[in-house]
Every structure is written in structure tokens, then in C-alpha cells.
Structure 1
Amino acid sequence: MKPDETWHWLELWERARDHALTAEEQTRLNDALRQNPEVRTLLAQAALMDAEMRVTPADALLGKATPPLPRKAFSLSSKVSRFVLPIAAAIVSAGAVWLIGREPTPVATLTKANDCKWGNSALPTLEGSSLQPGMLELLDGIATLKFASGAEVALEAPVTLEVISAMECRVKKGTVVAEVPQQAKGFTIHTAETKVVDYGTRFGISAGEDGKCLVHVIEGLVEVERKGEKGRKELRAGQRVDYGGFIKSASYPDAVSQDDQPEPGRWLPGPINNLGDGWQILTTAFGRGKDSWIQSNLRQRVTGRESYLRIKHTTHDESLDRKAYVAFDLSRFTGKQIAEAEFTLHVEPSDLGFASLVPDAVFTVYGLTDETQDAWSENEISWSNAPAHSLATEHRISPVEGQATKLGQFIVPQGTTRGAFTMKGEALANFLCMDSNGMATFIIIRETDETARNGLAHAFASKENTRNTPPMLKVRVEE
């Protein structure tokens, strides 16, 4: 047996003794012990050595001299080893079957885990894996668990969740959306200080390790029990309860009630790292650069000082559409030929809406060709006066014809909470080359609709953001 194989089987054996094998590893080890004499002998020797170490005199382990064993005893020991080894191999083989039989019964299945990035998870993270009780940490993407009870829970990164049983789980931090059929009535989700019991419904939870928690019911009925409070609180479709200020800290600081903020808040992670590369980089923070966004709800005022750019398209609520506008100061490239260009936005973890209600999202970028409208203001731009825009329904997802040109598209996969998304091509470079006033305005629109109310409002870093890179234009200038 090759050294690599030896270490492989020894490692699996150690993991089996610690009850840490996956289902696939258990099957592989069990089959090898039944069918491969070399593996049986190897692990029998390991078991025998372990037994001998357990009965080794303490003085020997401490390095002290001990009287040598009589020759007869040594000879007897060798004979016993030769006699015991085959028996130990058989015991090891049977023991593997016994260990497998003792493994806890799976309580859930990881039914969806496409393009996910996982952190320190104690459970298998391959799509289709059976899950026993344990911890999952999802860093990026959306994963779906189907519990043996029939309940489905969508994990929206970043999130840490503990699988407890077929009828319960615990959100350590992050956001999840649960859909519970009638046969799983009573399915329970715990947070640090809250217990949510479902009665056949669809609801979302955002929670922090500090005890903060937001429960939002999309359909049906849940009961919420809070540590330190008497009794349970009933919540029905459209209702929510906020322990800790998720709503107040989200995108509607002027809201006087929960009804004034139509989208549920979300738990936000800590800071993320900046990104960069080797091209000449121009951001909206340079010179006369600017960035802002508009919303179809005219009551909600955008100041232009927000640390994010919100973009959303929905046919479920006409007051929640949003577009982003960014402009770059191109004066540094006056008289130069731009040969290539890339436009980049950096995704921010959104604190509004549920990612599982929005599929892979297509974003289209337009360039403002009517330069007389480049003078828009960050704090005054609105749904009623934005460039290349009108109140007509068709302009919710497209600019006014003749005032802007399509430059390209990019796709943000469902559940993505961080990363850079870039659009490039000949159309972008040509648009920049045609500039005559030293300013270039981009309009970013999400083409993709949400599948139900309360879908995610995508967020991208603005120049006011202190955690991430603002909208970026990278260009290659021909000398």
C-alpha cells in the first residue's frame, strides 16, 4: 500500500472513532474493510497499537527506565500479536459497521447550494447532502435546506444556522426565509433571544448574535416568543416585529412607523475589503463625480449622501422601483483616445428585502447621450426630474428613447452579497470617446422582477461608502 493510501485510511479511521465521518466517507470505509485485506490489516495494527499504548507503564511514557520484559514474555507477546491481529481485523471491520449504525439519523437535506461559498461549517456543503444536527456558515449565495418534516429554509448569505432537528433550527446571525407546509405545522426557528413557531406559512427572520431580531410574515401565521416577555405574539401576513432597531437603521430613517417602510430590514455583516487593479482608475469620488438613485415612491426622499445605490424592479408594488445614476469627471482624459474601458460596481449586503424572492438579476447600463442633462444634482435628482426618465410605465426599466444608449449588461447571481461586477465592451469605449463636456453619466436599471412582494432591493457602494469601493471606471488610454 502506498504511503498516501496508508495515511488516507488511517485518517478515515481516526475520524470514524470521533464520529466525524460524512455519509460518503462511512460508506467508503465500510466497503474497504469488507473487501480489502490490506486495509483491514492496517487498521487492525492501528487498533492494536492504540491498545498497547493504553497499557504502557506510565514510567515508560515519562522516559524513565523500566525493567525489560522477560524473553518468554516477549515471545508470548509476539505470538499473541500474530494470533490477535486477524481477530482485531475482524473486530475493526465489524466495528466500522457498528459505528455507522450509531450515526444520528439525517434530519434535513441540502437541496440547493449552487455557487455558494461556505465558511466554518461542521456539516457537508455539497448539494444533495444529507444533514445531521450541526452548524452551517454561508458566506455568499443562497442555499436551501429541506427538513425531514417538509419545511424548507432558504439561507441568505451571510448567515450562520444550526440544524437542530427535523422540526427546528437556530439562526446564529443572518437572514433566512422559511416556507412551512401544513404537515410541518409547529416548525420552530430560534434566535439568541427569540423563538418563532410556525403554523403553515412563509416568513423571514433577520437576527444578530447580540439578540436583535426582525420577524416578517409573508403569508400565514406565526407566534413569536421573546425572552423576558410574557406570552406569545401572533403575527399574520404583512405584519412584523422588530427587536433591536432593524427597521429604524435601514433605508427609511425618517419613517415614523413600520408602515412607512414597506420592505423588511436585514441583518448586516461587518466591513468588507476594498478591491482594485492595475488600470487607470477613475471613481465617482474624483472631481465633479457624483452618484445617487431615484425611487418611484415620491414620499421617500433620497439625499445623495447615502452609502449605497439602491436598484430594484418590481411589478408587485409601483412605489418601490429604483434606478441608479452615476457620473464620472472625464477632464483628466481630455484630448486623449480611450481604447478600452470597464465600468464596475461593488455589491453591498442589502438591508432591505429577501434575496430568495429575486432570481439571478440582470442589470442593464445605459449611457446618457443628451449632454444637456449631465448637470443633475445628487440631492435634487428624483423620479420626476431624473435624466432620460419620465413617469411613463415603460421608463421604469428603460430610459427615454433618443436620450441614452445601451452600453451593456451584467448579472448578479441570486443571494450574492459582495463582490465586483463589471461591464465592458466596444459600446462603452465608444460612448466615452464621444464625450464633449468632460462628464459621463451612466444609468443602471434592474431588468429582473421579484417573484413575490418583499424581494431584495439590490445595493451597490456609493462614493460615501466607507467599507467598499465606489462606482469605478477603468480605462486604457492610447498615447
Structure 2
Amino acid sequence: MNRDEETESLIHELLDGTIAKQDVARLEKALLEDPEARQAYFALMSTDQMLLDNYEMPDHLAMHAQLMAGPLAEESDRVRTRWIWSGAALAAMVMLAATLLIFLRREPAIATVAGSADSYFLIDGVTVNEGNWTKNQRLEVRDGVVVAKLNAHTEACIDGPALIYMSDNGRDLDLRRGRVFFRVDHDAPHFKIRAAGAQVRHIGTEFGVRVAEGGSCEVHVVSGKVEVDRGAQKGKWTLKAGESASWLNRGDTSLDPLDGTDFRKALPGETIVFEDDFNDPKGTRLNEKAPDIGMPWKVRSEKVATVVGEGKLDTSGGPRHLKGHFLADDEPNHRQVVLMSFRTRQPEWIWDKQSKMDGIEKIALEAEDGTILCSVQARASEGHRWRLRDEVGGRESPLTGFSALQENELTLRYDALGGKITLHSGTSTQAELVAEIPSSSFAAPKALVIWNDYGGDLALKRISVKVVDYP
């Protein structure tokens, strides 16, 4: 059987409802590539529709059957029943064919994106917690990991920092920088990845692509096959599972065994290690009080007893040094990112803030040995406005527009191995970035510290710490 006969046979099987599931993809490919096959498909579909129009007449057949008697009437009933069922079957077949036609013409599905708890990403310059990514749009991942569901069969795990454009067909990607791990089913729609002057095409696979500044690129195949096409001058290769290819700028391509690079294949895990909303009876002593999550509070120093309750911790009335230990955890030998979120409110003692201009408020992260690693700090002389501070290196960010004496929700992100500390005006790192400084320490925080001196009063509604784990 030649190709034309095979295609026509598949069309007949589609129309009579006997086509096998695995043959649908073969027929779809033939219809997309062969105009004559499409013409035969439409001709056969039109013939079936005409038969349906001519014979779907149950009312007429019923009246004719009533005029007949005996065996002839019975035979007419049988004919009528056959035509009714035939009409219904033909209608179902035509509907199935129409569905296939719609499938062939439809637009690619809009990709959906979601990030890890510590992620900070933008679509065309706008931050979103979750959202759609579609054609001609730019996805920029500055921190954390983002998973993009490109369609029902294709997923991309993007490790920041990364910059990717989706082409105008809503399917192909242009990877400008960063590393991305792809999971692609064998029956997934075809798409290409442009990276460092090459086109990378999947053939049902799991593979990673890394593009660095300056145009260097690596492709690593975990399973299946990948085609790498660097054009007529540089050549084309098909990489199998366990193989990789790399090139620098316009240089030659190096083919090597897979070296087990650390592509992220899923969103990292996350654990809340400390949380307290101070929803205790009014007047509860803070010292040794159990938070909602974490080890009991420790009061290192206080002028008067520190009490909490009814959703409030207020340091008004004197200097204090308070400490909350996180849940016990083994010292990690890998990257961890720590997120500290807190919500402030106006303290009870506000009347003395104009006279005590040397006051300071501080919320900090502390290492196991007692070293203060980083903090958000506010000084009375600067209008009690928060700024970030790297306590080890002594570097500070410019002042933010958020006051320690007013109600605000802020999130601090401490990434020791990434070498960065950021502050966001909301409950997550996808909120507006308001301050950023480098980190001088590689230590992991084990506790939080709340500290104030005379004239520096701080009131909190809640505070929580989450660890994002990158094994």
C-alpha cells in the first residue's frame, strides 16, 4: 500500500469510527503535509454529510410505514431503524472529523507559569504570582525557580536568573540566558528553542539547555533524543540520552557524555520554621511562650516585662532584645534561601517620637553562633524609615518609603550562596522590590531577633520565617 492509499484508508477509518488512537497522529501529519490528502479528506467528509442530509428523515419514514401492512410493514420498520441509527452514526463521524479539523487549525495553548516561594519573575516587565505567558512576551526570572506549562505535554523548569522570549507563533522559545530543563512527551506539539545561534528541537525527551552571557551554550539530554542545528556552516547533530553538546560563541561544537549538570527539574521544597501571630490572651508573657511554629521565645533583655496578646507584640515602654529560635534543622550542605515576612502596626507610645531622635528599631536574622547576618533597620533620625543592612559587611541600602511606625507588610529574602539580600513590600518575593544589597556571609540563619532602644518602639501583628530548600 502506497502512502496515498494508506492516508485514504486512515480517512475512511476516521469517518467510520474505527481508527486506532495511535493512527490519529499519523493522519494529522499527513493532512498537514499533503494538500492532496486534505482534498481527499474534505471530499469524503462532504459525501458523508450529503448522505446524512438525504437520509435523516425519520418523520417521513414513519408515515410511510403506517401505510404498509404485514411483513412489508415490519420490513419497513427495520429499514427505518437502520436509517435512523445510520444517520446518528454519520452525525457522530462528521462531528469527529470536524473536531480533528479544529485541532489542526487551533492556536497553540497559552502557557501558564508559577514560581517557587522565593521567586521573583516578570512577564513583559510586570510581576505576577501566577499567570499566562503568550506569544511575543518576555519572561524574566531574576530569582528562584519558575515552572512554565507550555502545553498539556510540555513543561519547562527555569532556574533564575534567566531571560526567555516566546515567539510570535506562541510555541517556539528564544533562550537569551539562563538554564532550563524541558520535559516533553513523544506526542507533544513540535516546538523549537533558539539558543546561542542554534535551533534545538525535541524528539520526545527530557533535556536541559544552558545559555551564558557571551553566547556560550550547552545541551544535555537525559532521555529520548534532541536535534541541535547550528546551520549549514556549523552542522547538525542528533543527541541521544546520556550525551551533551556545547559551543562557545561562534566556535566549533564539542560532543561529550552527559556530565550530570545541576538543572532544576522541579520547584524547590519549602518549610515554615517559625511563625507567630500573637493571638494569645491579652497580657501573655513573651518569655518562654511557644509561637505557632518554632521554639519558645527568649527575652534576652527588657526594662519592663514584654507581653503579647490579641494579635499584637508592642515594644513600647523601653529597650528590649527578643529572640525566636527556628525549628531544629540539620546544617545544610546545599543552598537554602530564607524568607522573613512581618506585618507592623503603630506602636502604643507614639507621643515621644519627636523628642527621642536617637531611637532605633531592628528585625534581624541570626546565625547559630550569635552573629547577626542581616536586618531591616529604622532610625528615628531618618523618619523611622526601613532600610536593609548587611550586618557582617556593614553595607546598607538606600532608605525605603516604609515606616516602622506605620502598618506595612514586608518580606526579606536572604540568599547566602546567591550573595543577595532583598526587601519586598508585600507577603511574598513577587511583591514590589524596594531594596537590594549584596550579602557578605554564607552562614544559615537559625533565629530571628527583634531589638529596639529608647525611643525606638516597634509593634508587630505577625512574623514568619520560611526556608526554601535547593538540594
Structure 1 length normalisation: TM-score? 0.34
Q: Which has the larger radius of gyration?
A: 2
Structure 2 length normalisation: TM-score? 0.35
Bigger RCO of structures 1 and 2 (CA < 8 A, at least 6 apart): 1
Structure with greater proportional strand content: 2
